[in-house]
Chain A
Amino acid sequence: MTTTKPPSTEYHQDMSFQPRANLIGLWLFIVSETFLFGAFLAARYYSTGTAKPEELNQNLALMLTIVLLASSLSAYMAETSIRFNHRRNFVIYISGTIIMGLIFLGGVGIELKEAIHLYPPGTPYGSSYFMLIGLHAFHVVTGLIALGFVLFLGLKGHYGSDDYWGAEGVIKYWHFVDLAWVIIYPTLYLF
């Protein structure tokens, strides 16, 4: 009678490949998200070219861009803090990122309130505008929920310099949300 384990069991016990698999999996997800945003960006150029209404609130859009970039810096600082085991700074920076994300969402709410009267969703520019802003805002909301979980776990003492993938993955997603805005902002407001 043989006592060796089946190969599949041995494969699952070897977890040394897992961090690499996590990283590749996250980047594949980000690439798939890029295609999603790319489709809506292409729709904007296809339907209206680079034409845009005069009434766009440029100052508010610039402020929102700065807030989102600042939130990305804060997220980066949170990741750096936990990588070097500075737990207190990690919690502070994650909280800062969440607050700036909420400010961004508030600004988007003001924008949408103005936009619904100036260029309603039924117009060619309005449909592109509301789809792109709405899709991005949805990603901001999901990012904030994920950051909320990371903050909660961080406060409970999770994560450390040798085990912070959960935080790193969410922070990478948040940077992707920022990256998407870097392209959406000129597409809707500047070109």
Chain B
Amino acid sequence: MTTELVPIDRDGMRAATRKGLIGAAVLAVLTIIEYFVAISLENPLLALLPFVALKGWIILDVFMHVRQVFKEGGH
């Protein structure tokens, strides 16, 4: 159990927070555009694939830190 007080790196936390907020905002915008594209096209499959791929990559990269896996000692 951690009981000692450790100072918080506020700048580092602010930068990481900003990265997450930008990622989430882009995801939200893509989701809304994806929805309107889907309801306005007769057969939207091909038009929506880039949205799915981009949203998936943002979650993998920004939220899941997938690049850690490919870095030497990346944790």
Contact = CB atoms under 8 A, between A and B. Distances in A.
Interface residues of A, number: 42
B16 A83 contact: yes
Contact of A182 (B59, B64, B75): B59
Contact of A66 (B2, B13, B28, B68): B28
A178 to B, nearest CB: 6
Interface stretch (A113-121, A132-140, A155-163): A155-163
B24 to A, nearest CB: 4
Interface of A is mostly: helix
A39 interface: no
Interface string A54-91: 00001000100110011011011100110111100000
A34 B73 CA distance: 25
Contact of A73 (B9, B21, B38, B64): B21
Contacts of A175: 59, 63-64
Given A50-B45, A172-B64, A19 B75 contact: yes
B38 A186 contact: yes
B69 A69 contact: no
Nearest to A178: B59
Contact of B44 (A66, A75, A190): A190
> What is the size category of the interface that chain B forms with chain A?
35 or more
A48 to B, nearest CB: 13
Interface in B1-56: 1-3, 6-10, 12-13, 16-17, 20-21, 23-24, 27-28, 31, 34-35, 38-39, 43-45, 48, 51-52, 55-56
A88 to B, nearest CB: 10
B69 A24 contact: yes
Contacts of B55: 182
Contact of A183 (B31, B52, B64, B65): B52
A72 B8 contact: no
Contacts of B1: 156-158
Nearest to B12: A84
A179 interface: yes
B17 A77 contact: yes
Interface of B: 1-3, 6-10, 12-13, 16-17, 20-21, 23-24, 27-28, 31, 34-35, 38-39, 43-45, 48, 51-52, 55-56, 59-60, 62-66, 68-69, 73-75
21 contacts: A19-B75, A20-B74, A62-B35, A69-B24, A72-B24, A72-B63, A76-B20, A76-B62, A77-B17, A77-B20, A81-B13, A84-B13, A85-B9, A172-B64, A172-B65, A179-B56, A179-B59, A182-B59, A186-B38, A186-B51, A191-B48
